[in-house]
A and B are shown apart, each in its own frame.
Chain A
Amino acid sequence: MDKARAIKIAVTAIGGQGGGVLANWIGRLGEDNGFISQMTSVPGVAQRTGATVYYIEWFPLSAAQATGKDPVLALMPVPGDVDIVIAAELMEAGRAILRGFISPQTTLIASSHRDYAISEKSGLGDGRQRTGSIIEAAEKASKAFIVADMAAAAAEANAAISAVLFGALAGSGALPVERARFEDQIIKMGRAVEQNLHGFSLGFDLSQEQASDIVEPENAASGARDSSLSVTPLLERMQKEFPNVAHFYIREGLKRTVDFQDVRYAGAYLDRLKDILDIDRNHDGERRDWRLTQAVAKHLALWMTYEDSIRVADLKTRKARFESIRKDIRVEDRQIANVHEFLHPRVEEFCDILPVGAAQFILNNVTCRKLIGVLLGKGKRIPTTKLRGFLPLYALSSLRFMRRSSFRFKLESEHIAEWLKAITDAARNDYDLAIEVAQLQRLIKGYGDTHERGLKNYKMIMDFLKHYAASADAIRQLREAALKDEEGAALRATIKKFATAPQIAA
């Protein structure tokens, strides 16, 4: 029997990523360079964002001519018998591993970027999967593993990711065809040739470098400029009064509170935190890395810089924001891009920034409430880059001086006090429980209904804490349950589960 065999190539991609283009290039590349080439795919619903596989086999034409017979080529990959796998996204590399396509004979070329699945995107908190196990398994299972952020390279060259992957395939040397012949295919297709050749070249180089490390996002480097005189006292206080290990969060907290209100407000932040630090110290905090202080430093800063309409207007009118939008939407230097905000202030948001008395009057008076509701109207589109949109927002953002007397400020201050007390109480018996209580702040986020839902969940857990002797683990489970579904079903079920714990005597 004849020993000649086919080269087997699988392309795994997400529908809509253009995997078909890549598969076509590979198919024609073989056909033009001395192979009998067969390519097939499974279009259908998978085309609409599902996971899909394209499969190509190359059989040496010379071997076929020598025997005078046609090879029998398969239409789908067999596990353990695939020479090259190209994954257009990291999780698709993982899926290829699960399907057994990656074996010791396989060169695996994968893009390290993530295209999040709906289950990862739609979580109420952070639903993303960690990718470490995929990288590890890919290295172990394959003959060679080439991984780099092909999507970033594609963006850089304004090319299709297929072109970058095609370049990476050429650079891997896994196919017995020289680089120029690959490029011929891109030229032959005749679409966005220049950009795609650029992308191809980036992919080729990435592949040759065998780039295999994934760059984790780093926090901004510090120390570029000196601090301003006005915040120096705050920083000095931080240096003097707080342990080093907590400085990262405190510094961020100070930045945030100053940015939100003023230096005095940041001072209040340190005052509140100081009380917690004292408690931390009394509970052997030093030995515990000051974890309680760190947790409170982080969450207190977030809570104290709650999102009211003054804050939103401030953030929306900043120069830095205008610049980052332009970068995000990729417009050129002098190109005009008009920005419209989708805002929907309700009576509640309106009252948030009013003085306490006025707000309470409106909220308690049905007619007044209705009237203001009508005045506020439906959702608005505010053109921030135009004067008629910018000026009102700008004016709103300058109401910061009124904030301390506002209704929302009072409300949040009460909530914060109550929360800090709960942390203090918890710390008396259980250090870890106090940290969990501090982390409950994470539940309160968003605007409107979302904010109300978060606050309701938070209050349910705080209520539970009042009535039952809860463990740190129980509170953690409750917090996680609160982030499971919008309707609060998981939270209610978990509370029910723990409600058998011993009750605290009233």
Chain B
Amino acid sequence: MAERSFAKEVQQLRVSEGEVFRGEGILAVTKALLQSGVSYVGGYQGAPISHLMDVLSDAQEILGELNVHFEASASEASAAAMLAASVNYPLRGAVTWKSTVGTNVASDALANVASSGVMGGALVIVGEDYGEGSSIMQERSHAFAMKSQLWLLDPRPNLSSIVETVEHAFQLSEASNTPVMLELRIRACHVYGSFESKKNIRPSFTLADAMENPTRDYSRVVLPPSNFVHEIEKVENRWPAAVEFIKAHKLNEFFGGHQGDVGIIVQGGLYNTLIRALELLGLADAFGETDIPIYCLNVTYPLIDGEVKGFCLDKRAVLMIEEGQPEFIEQVVNTILRNADIQTKVVGKAMLPKAGEYTGQIVGEGLRQFFGQYAPKFLEHTPDAPVQSLSQEDKAAVTATVPMRPAGFCTGCPERPVFSAMKLVQKEIGDFHVSCDIGCHLFSILPPFDIGNTTMGYGLGWAGASALNADATQRTVSVMGDGGFWHNGLTSGVGNAVFNKTDNVLVIVDNGYSAATGGQDILSSRAFNKTKSTNNPIAKAVRGLGVEWLKEVHTYDIGEMKKTLKEAMTTATKGPKVIIAQAECMLNRQRREKPLRAKAIKDGKRVVRPRFGVDAETCTGDHSCIRLSGCPSLTIRDNPDPLRDDPVAWVNNDCVGCGVCGENAHAAILCPSFFRADIVYNPSVWDKTVSRVRRVIIGFLQSGRERQRSKYLFGDT
């Protein structure tokens, strides 16, 4: 079960024809798939399409009613390979993942399905994780579309356009026998809006039909001589067919007037940003009405030569608004125009930044510069740039004050103690090289842990340290999550290490979910899952690959964690060493347990809830505990002691009672200030009696002391 439930929202998928659908972008995409008569869907989670996977997972009942098969694929490669079903059969299918990282993983299968070509519409929905909030390398999916010759759609970011584009994508795919990629930027995935819905369609040709009546076409298999034919097909048949379809169905749009000798070419996904920037310049209204001619590329690959030429022919200059680099579209526009001997100036990265997200402000600045040089009349009535109401000094003071907020482990996260232990071991045996992976555990590279050298990709943590396998006095440590382990790490990491006889250490963080992407279930998840096979232990898989030195440790036991890690680093035993650090993801555990606990308390059952605290009187304000933990609920407040200047540590009410701060206090011999309070709800008669006896005796002794102290009152307390 994932972090966010869409059980309620997916009911929107049933809204009937003509009704208004309301919801998030990804939910709308799911509805569009159903309206398109899709037979199968699959994918691998990751922002910004994690929720799409969650929606599909929560919508399995509805999918079932429509005969749609859903797979939570093991990786993007598995998902891409699913599209093979559309090669021989008239089956529509869609797969989804985070891009560009997922597209990297999927490339092998994508290249093959693109070579074979498809009979049924095949759609790849990529969540483009670029710009603000992104956690991955800044690259473009565009390059993948070009290399495999998949058509790339980049619709205007409103639900109606997105839904329409999904429907067109299947038709385009079938018309050109080519898989199609639909690119959705992060905000478009999460935009809440509405559109008028159509009927869900049940596929007329089913998966069972395909299985029971298999057909094969030798010419579709990627092997000589077919593969050579495929390349020719791509340029001679499929490309022209795509161009014809795109033109005929007007997938690209023309907006604005015909006035003037300048125009703007924009990626569909940036259209709203462009209109807002024009509106702020006084050149468009809120409905996008403008005198400036705009050519909106809802299909960014391939470009339609005729449309580009027609748009540019009468213009002195066009502004090309294309996010990311290299500037593939700008290059092609130039090639088209120069080949046709059209001398329109194409201005793109010359006036817009070469790298980074194109925000409203950045596009606005680019427009000003472009009009300033090529059409100053458009700037005659524009309002001035917004006034800076703050002086440079004020701004500098704020800049110096506002702290960075790096992402970090959640309150009570079971991964934190792994790195606390690692820090403690480093203090004893010296620093070691740490190869990181993808997942929440990568937050170890940030303060307060500052642990980790590189990250090479999902499941590639151990492979990332494989070269460092020489005869040395210090071993390396690699980290991998359970998500990464099943995605790729099993073979690329563990298999590779066993085969190459590594002598180094791997820590697998086994928290029971693909936690970083939103807590989806994986093979080793402990929870029962109606539609998936869970409870397949990692240890069994690791042993099966031939690892002999294997330890399983409960992460919250920092002492044990530290001991095990130190043993792995120093043991005379040669060969790969694997530590499986286990404890359930706290975010998911709380989501599971909190309602149960609340219900139990309400039902009058005896419940004990632990939480931690720090004594302000004995805390001296050194904050070692914070440097070893970084838990959001372990924070600071004013020192109540008027003689002390440094703030004291304290545990706020978000504490979930995981116990790491107490364990740290013990393992690092920090200070006597930590305490755990076990709060008892609905105490038993025994609880009450014992507690009363204790209170009376302790109260008596305390009162004695109080009386003594009351002889020494200074009159102000």
Query: What is the CA–CA distance of A442 and B646 in the complex, to the nearest angstrom?
Result: 9
B175 → A minimal CB distance (Å)? 29
Residues 72-87 of B, flagged 1 when their CB comes within 8 A of A and 0 if not, give: 0000000000000000
Give the distance to chain A from B177, nearest Cβ to Cβ, in Å: 34
Stretch at the interface among A36-44, A407-415, A424-432: A36-44
Asked if A40 and B276 sit within 8 Å, CB to CB, the answer is no
A256: B residues at CB distance < 8 A: 643
A223–B398 touching, CB < 8 Å: no
Q: How far is the CB of B441 from chain A (nearest CB, A)?
A: 12
Cβ B613 vs Cβ A119 within 8 A: no
In Å, the complex CA distance between A127 and B129 comes to 34
| B605 nearest CB across to chain A (Å) | 15
State which size class the interface on A falls in: 35 or more
Q: Which parts of A45-61 form the interface with B (CB within 8 Å)?
A: 45-53, 55, 59
Determine if B394 and A342 form an interchain contact, defined as CB atoms under 8 angstroms apart. no
B623–A124 touching, CB < 8 Å: yes
A43-B47, A46-B407, A312-B618 given; A116·B635 CB < 8 A: yes
B672 contacts the other chain (CB 8 A): yes
Give chain A residues whose Cβ lies under 8 Å from the Cβ of B647.
126, 128
23 interchain pairs, CB-CB under 8 A? A5-B279, A42-B190, A50-B406, A52-B133, A64-B287, A70-B158, A76-B360, A80-B386, A94-B398, A104-B387, A126-B645, A131-B401, A133-B397, A133-B400, A223-B715, A224-B716, A329-B677, A336-B680, A336-B683, A337-B678, A340-B676, A386-B694, A390-B698
**Complex partner residue of B403 from A39, A81, A119, CB under 8 angstroms:** A119
Does A403 make an interface contact (CB < 8 A)? Answer: no
B276 touches A316 (CB 8 A): no
> Contact at A342–B674, with CB atoms within 8 Å?
yes
Residue in B387, B636, B712 whose beta carbon sits within 8 Å of that of A230 in the complex: B712
* Contact assessment for B134 and A51 in the assembled complex, using a CB-CB cutoff below 8 Å: no
Which of B638, B678, B681 has the largest count of A CB atoms less than 10 A from its CB? Answer: B678
Whether A1 pairs with B289 at a CB distance below 8 angstroms is yes
Residue A258, interface by CB 8 Å = yes
> Does A406 reach chain B (CB closer than 8 Å)?
no
Contacts of B287 in A (CB 8 A): 2, 64, 67, 69-72
Closest residue to A446 on the B side, CB-wise? B622
Which 6 pairs across A and B sit closest by C-beta, in order of nearness? Answer: A80-B386, A379-B666, A78-B360, A42-B133, A117-B403, A445-B620
Chain A CB within 8 A of B603 CB: no
Complex CA distance for A214 and B12, rounded to whole angstroms: 46
Whether a CB of chain A sits under 8 angstroms from the CB of B662 is: yes
A134 & B133 in contact (Cβ 8 Å cutoff)? no
Contact: A450 with B677, CB < 8 Å?
no
Contact, CB under 8 Å: B678 / A76: no
- Nearest-CB distance from B292 to chain A (Å)? 12
A340-B675 contact, Cβ under 8 Å, with A48-B408, A117-B404, A136-B394: yes
Interface centre among B277, B670, B688 (most CB of A within 10 A): B670
Pairwise interchain contact B642-A252, C-beta atoms closer than 8 A: yes
Q: Nearest-CB distance from B710 to chain A (Å)? A: 7
Cβ A98 vs Cβ B399 within 8 A: yes
Chain B residues contacting A331 (CB-CB under 8 Å) are 677, 679
Q: In this assembly, does A152 line the interface, its C-beta being within 8 Å of a C-beta of chain B?
A: no
Chain A proximity of B634: nearest CB distance (Å): 8
Interface residue? A217 (CB, 8 A) = yes
State whether the Cβ of B615 lies closer than 8 Å to any Cβ in chain A: yes
Q: How far is the CA of A67 from the CA of B289 in the complex (A)?
A: 11
Q: Is B611's CB within 8 Å of the partner chain A? A: yes
Task: Indicate whether A416 reaches chain B with its CB closer than 8 angstroms.
Answer: no
Complex: A339 Cα to B680 Cα, angstroms: 11
Asked whether A356 is an interface residue with its Cβ less than 8 Å from the other chain, the reply is no
B627 & A133 in contact (Cβ 8 Å cutoff):
no
In this complex, the member of A14, A43, A230 whose beta carbon has the largest number of chain B beta carbons within 10 angstroms is: A43
B-to-A contact residues, CB < 8 Å: 22, 47-48, 50-51, 129, 132-135, 157-158, 160, 185-188, 190-193, 271-273, 275-277, 279-280, 284-290, 359-361, 364, 385-387, 389-390, 394-395, 397-411, 440, 443, 446-448, 516, 559, 611, 613, 615-618, 620-624, 626-627, 630, 632, 634-636, 638, 642-647, 650, 653, 662, 665-672, 674-681, 683, 687-688, 691, 694, 697-699, 701-703, 705-706, 709-717
Question: Known interface pairs A44-B186, A48-B440, A141-B390. Does A448 touch B646 (Cβ–Cβ under 8 Å)?
Answer: no
Q: Do A133 and B401 have beta carbons less than 8 Å apart?
A: yes
How near does chain B come to A301, taking the closest CB pair, in angstroms?
6
- In the complex, what's the smallest C-beta–C-beta distance from A431 to chain B, in angstroms? 21
Give the distance to chain B from A426, nearest Cβ to Cβ, in Å. 21
On whether the beta carbons of A321 and B193 are closer than 8 Å, the reply is no
Give Cα A155 to B652, complex, Å: 11
Whether B405 lies near A50 (C-beta < 8 A) is yes
At the interface, yes or no: A493 with Cβ under 8 Å from chain B?
A: no
Q: Which residues of B contact A136 (CB under 8 A)?
A: 394, 397
Inter-chain contact count A-B, CB under 8 Å? 409
Using Cβ atoms and an 8 Å threshold, which residues of chain A touch B133?
42-46, 52
Bound together, the chains give a CA A103 to CA B399 distance in angstroms of 17
Q: When the two chains form their complex, are residues A340 and B361 in contact, meaning their CB atoms are under 8 A apart? A: no
Bound together, the chains give a CA A449 to CA B669 distance in angstroms of: 7
Could you tell me which residues of chain A, from 244 to 269, have a CB within 8 Å of some CB in chain B? 248-249, 251-256, 258-259, 263
Q: Which chain A residue shows the least CB distance to B25?
A: A40
A317 adjacent to B702 (CB under 8 Å) = yes
Residue among B185, B193, B403, B632 with max Cβ neighbours from chain A (10 Å): B403
Taken together as a complex, chains A and B put the C-alpha atoms of A475 and B279 apart, in Å, by 59
Q: Which single residue of chain B is at the shortest CB-CB distance from A384?
A: B675
- In the complex, the answer to whether B192 meets A38 with C-beta atoms within 8 Å is yes
Q: Could you tell me if B635 and A48 are in contact, using CB atoms closer than 8 angstroms?
A: no
Instruction: Please report which residues of chain A, range 114-148, place their CB below 8 angstroms from some CB of chain B when the two chains form the complex.
Output: 115-131, 133-134, 136-137, 140-141
B398 touches A123 (CB 8 A): no
Contact with B along A281-323 (1 / 0, CB 8 A): 0000000000000000010011000010000100111110110
Residues on A with beta carbons closer than 8 Å to the beta carbon of B705: 317-319
Q: Does residue A95 face the partner (Cβ distance < 8 Å to B)? A: yes
Query: Which single member of B192, B286, B289, B669 contacts A39 (CB below 8 Å)?
Result: B192
CB of A16 within 8 A of chain B? yes
In the assembled complex, A343 has its CB within 8 A of some CB on chain B: yes
Q: Which residues of A contact B399 (CB under 8 A)?
A: 98
A335 within 8 A of B: yes
In the complex, whether A373 has a CB less than 8 A from a CB of chain B is no
Closest chain A residue, CB of each to CB of B697 = A387
Contact B644 A302 (CB under 8 A): yes
Tell me, yes or no, whether A74 is within 8 Å of chain B by CB: yes
CB neighbours of B134 from chain A (8 A): 44
**Smallest CB-CB separation from A251: which chain B residue?**
B714
A10 close to chain B: CB less than 8 A: no
**Given A227-B714, A447-B671: A337 and B620 within 8 A (CB)?**
no
CB-based contact A337/B677 at 8 Å: yes
A72 touches B390 (CB 8 A): no
User: Taking the complex as formed, is A231 at the interface, i.e. its CB lies under 8 A from any CB of chain B?
Assistant: yes
A75 touches B191 (CB 8 A): yes
16 further contact pairs, Cβ within 8 A, besides A121-B635, A319-B705, A346-B669: A2-B287, A40-B187, A43-B190, A45-B47, A71-B287, A78-B359, A95-B402, A118-B408, A124-B622, A125-B645, A134-B401, A223-B715, A252-B642, A301-B643, A336-B691, A342-B662
How many whole Å from A322's CB to the nearest CB in chain B?
Answer: 7
Question: In the complex the two chains form, is A74's CB within 8 Å of B190's CB?
Answer: no
Q: Name the CB-closest residue of A to B559.
A: A378
Q: In the assembled complex, how far is the CB of residue A2 from the closest CB belonging to chain B, in whole angstroms?
A: 4
Is the Cβ of B443 less than 8 Å from the Cβ of A447?
no
Give min CB distance, B496 to chain A, whole Å. 28
Q: Tell me the A69-124 residues at the B interface (CB within 8 Å).
A: 69-81, 91, 94-95, 97-98, 100, 102-104, 115-124
Distance in angstroms between the alpha carbons of A339 and B715 in the assembled complex: 31
Q: Does A328 contact B (CB under 8 A)?
A: yes
Find chain B residues with CB under 8 A from A231 CB: 712-714
Is A188 in contact with chain B by the CB < 8 A criterion? Answer: no
Instruction: Answer whether residue A208 sits at the interface, using C-beta atoms and an 8 A cutoff.
Output: no
Chain A residues contacting B618 (CB-CB under 8 Å) are 307, 312, 315-316
B672 touches A387 (CB 8 A): no
